[in-house]
């Protein structure tokens, strides 16, 4: 078990990539702190992983809640800190900019950018003090490309990529590694966050049609584990993972 003795905090752990990553890291011996808004889902995952011998702490929180994230950070610090942060929570209520769905823009900015920063701020100082740690931010293929109707979402993911690379350069002196994972089309609940009916239907048709075999959350979890399992002198700075058939 390559992560035996390591502690990992996973946000957005109630489903999809976060849940798959929790299962994989648990199988590799890591102790887990799992966070999301849906406490019932977290408790189900806790029961599943605890039954397999994993030490799991449930910390329900909305990553866009600054005070809530600070409280989780204080709890983590009081328990000796963590070795790994999987910054996974995100949302994607995309729509054409002309529609002016400002509340949804703010939701994406608050969750996809501020939430990432709140999580980093909660644990990075402790990692830097201990001279060890690994921060994995989950951005998107949209971090390097743009798509119609996904301007704000893509903007948030471009921001995550920029934050990740800047943090990587700053964290070198503290022995902390930083990885930006960029998933392509993955079979998760993310498209369910799209409130625009026509866009949601179009995305699901394009992503989940018979001619588009998607990645599974486990595929991204495997990529995350690849980055985590490298020797301490190796930093997998970026990893773009998408289905063979996905052109963009």
The answer to whether the CB of 218 falls within 8 A of the CB of 226 is no
Question: Known catalytic residue: 153?
Answer: yes
Q: Which of 118, 124, 153, 174 is catalytic?
A: 153
Is residue 29 within 8 A of residue 5, CB to CB? The reply is: yes
Which positions are catalytic? 153
């Amino acid at each position: 078990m390559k992560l035996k003795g390591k502690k990992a905090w996973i946000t957005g752990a109630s489903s999809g990539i976060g849940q798959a990553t929790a299962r994989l890291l648990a199988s590799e011996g890591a102790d887990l702190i799992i966070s999301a808004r849906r406490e019932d889902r977290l408790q189900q995952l806790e029961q599943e992983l605890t039954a397999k011998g994993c030490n799991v702490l449930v910390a329900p929180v909305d990553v866009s809640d600054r005070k809530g994230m600070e409280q989780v950070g204080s709890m983590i610090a009081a328990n000796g800190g963590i070795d790994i942060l999987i910054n996974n929570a995100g949302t994607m209520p995309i729509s054409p900019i002309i529609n002016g769905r400002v509340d949804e823009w703010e939701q994406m900015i608050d969750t996809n950018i501020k939430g990432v920063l709140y999580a980093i701020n909660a644990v990075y100082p402790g990692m830097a003090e201990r001279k060890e740690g690994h921060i994995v931010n989950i951005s998107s293929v949209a971090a390097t490309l743009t798509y119609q109707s996904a301007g704000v979402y893509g903007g948030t993911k471009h921001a995550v990529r920029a934050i990740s690379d800047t943090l990587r350069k700053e964290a070198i002196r503290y022995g902390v590694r930083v990885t930006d994972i960029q998933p392509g089309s993955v079979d998760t609940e993310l498209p369910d966050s799209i409130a625009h009916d026509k866009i949601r239907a179009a995305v699901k048709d394009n992503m989940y049609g018979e001619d588009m075999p998607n990645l599974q959350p486990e595929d991204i979890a495997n990529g995350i584990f690849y980055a985590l399992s490298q020797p301490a002198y190796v930093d997998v700075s970026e990893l773009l993972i998408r289905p063979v058939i996905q052109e963009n």
